[in-house]
Amino acid sequence: MANMQMNKTPMPEQDPQVRAGNFQEVALGYTLEQAQNEAKRCLNCKHKPCIGGCPVGIPIPVFIGKVAEGDLAGAYQLLSDANALPAISGRVCPQETQCEGVCVRGIKGEPVAIGRIERFVADWAAEHGLANVATAPKNGHKVAVIGSGPAGLTCAGELARMGYEVSVFEAFHTAGGVLTYGIPEFRLPKAIVAREVSNLEKMGVDIELNMVIGKVLTIPELFERGYEAVFIGSGAGLPMFMKIPGEGLVGVYSANEYLTRINLMKAYRPDSETPILHGKKVAVVGGGNVAMDAARCARRMGAEVHIVYRRSEAELPARLEEIHHAKEEGIIFDFLTNPISIEGDETGHVQSVTCVRMELGEPDDSGRRRPVVIPGSEFQMEVDTVIMALGTSPNPMSYEGTPGLEKTRKGCVAADEGGCTSCPNIFAGGDAAIGAATVILAMGAGKSAAKSIDRYISSKE
């Protein structure tokens, strides 16, 4: 008998007042009883639209059914066969626009909390020492993967499972891509990323750190070393700025730099050697997940934090849960506000930002109403730090100059089903191929590229 409770079973969280002062995980995860209560909300309905809504094709009602029955090892097996990084996607995948967005329980009430159940199963497996690291016997073929973000890790894991010898080349000293350097500890503990990476290593994936492809080795040199195919999963790490006066002042950061200092280099810890400004009043410009992450980090570093966003609350692109958490933690939202210049003091440090008020006009190409400046609305906000969270584009360093490789107008690798449109032995996916997107889309792209690589290499035999 299904549980017809209309709302999701709530997940315990740290108190907002307490967590605004620490970097420990906000959401605490389900107990077995809570996970089973939620699992029983699934109707195992006829068309199961949730499966089609999952880019990595998890057999959602079957694994949820195993949780309801209490067969957690069986649930983990099903989940991890389809998804190489379940503890990660259970925490940060935007389920509301994927599987949960199409769940039939969402028609009248809230959808089944698929992400929370996924997280519970992955954490339960780790606590019980289970890891799905079985692979086929080695097939004698070598593949190189550039970048260790969710696209690269998923592609590597899928290929290792099929018996390929896989090397992942990562520019940073730690694997994980945005999972490690971008998404903060309080949303995704780094020990969990390290655990998933270690599972891939147990499958035989070789991870080479501090290897900047395009500088240390080029793609043609990888082929010379015997790799038969290369997957480019180098992400979209180039930050954008507003091109307004004052962006060169001390105290102006891109969100990427600010988050990398805090997450990868642990600048939030008193013993860290990485310098960071402990701003008293911080303006974060932008309204996406990256802006929420930067704002919530600055809050935890002790600042009064303002999100400065040129449209209204209805257009905020961040996940609803992140906006809700940011508000609970005391972040102040200045909607319909846009910076036009940043001013410094005599030492070159930020001391204020000049903004204009906006109103919403006709819809633009994105379908959202275009923000229009209200004449004469200029005003100054006194701040000592400005963080630009306006989006990123791909850094072409790894593939620039590769003979025959086509790029899109936006500088992404031109790729189709994971295969590059121009070079049969080069594949690409995730943010490097589509621009900044989501963890689960990057994982889906890594998985489909692995299948394309397998087809390509098998076709040569």
Site for ligand FAD, rule CB under 6 A:
92-94, 146-152, 169-172, 177-178, 182-183, 211-214, 233-235, 237, 259, 289-290, 293, 395, 397-398, 430-432, 436-440, 442
Minimum gap (Å) between residue 104 Cβ and ligand SF4:
5
One-letter amino acid of 62: V
Q: Is 103 in the site for ligand SF4 (CB under 6 A)?
A: yes
Q: Residue 264's binding partner, choosing from ligand SF4, ligand FAD, none, with beta-carbon cut-off 5 to 8 A by kind?
A: none
Residue number, 179 or 356, with CB nearest to ligand FAD = 179
Q: Residue 94's binding partner, choosing from ligand FAD, ligand SF4, none, with beta-carbon cut-off 5 to 8 A by kind?
A: ligand FAD
Minimum gap (Å) between residue 53 Cβ and ligand SF4:
8
Q: Is 67 in the site for ligand SF4 (CB under 6 A)?
A: no
Minimum gap (Å) between residue 60 Cβ and ligand SF4:
5
Residue number, 151 or 305, with CB nearest to ligand FAD = 151
Q: Residue 105's binding partner, choosing from ligand SF4, ligand FAD, none, with beta-carbon cut-off 5 to 8 A by kind?
A: ligand SF4
Q: Residue 259's binding partner, choosing from ligand SF4, ligand FAD, none, with beta-carbon cut-off 5 to 8 A by kind?
A: ligand FAD
Q: Residue 212's binding partner, choosing from ligand SF4, ligand FAD, none, with beta-carbon cut-off 5 to 8 A by kind?
A: ligand FAD
Q: Is 121 in the site for ligand SF4 (CB under 6 A)?
A: no
Q: Is 104 in the site for ligand SF4 (CB under 6 A)?
A: yes
Q: What is the CA radius of gyration of the chain?
A: 23
Q: Residue 199's binding partner, choosing from ligand FAD, ligand SF4, none, with beta-carbon cut-off 5 to 8 A by kind?
A: none
Q: Is 43 in the site for ligand SF4 (CB under 6 A)?
A: yes
Residue number, 110 or 343, with CB nearest to ligand SF4 = 110
- Of 100-108, 232-240, 289-297, 443-451, which part binds ligand SF4 (CB under 6 A)? 100-108
Q: Which residues of this protein are in contact with ligand SF4, per CB under 6 A? A: 42-45, 48-50, 60-61, 103-105, 112, 114
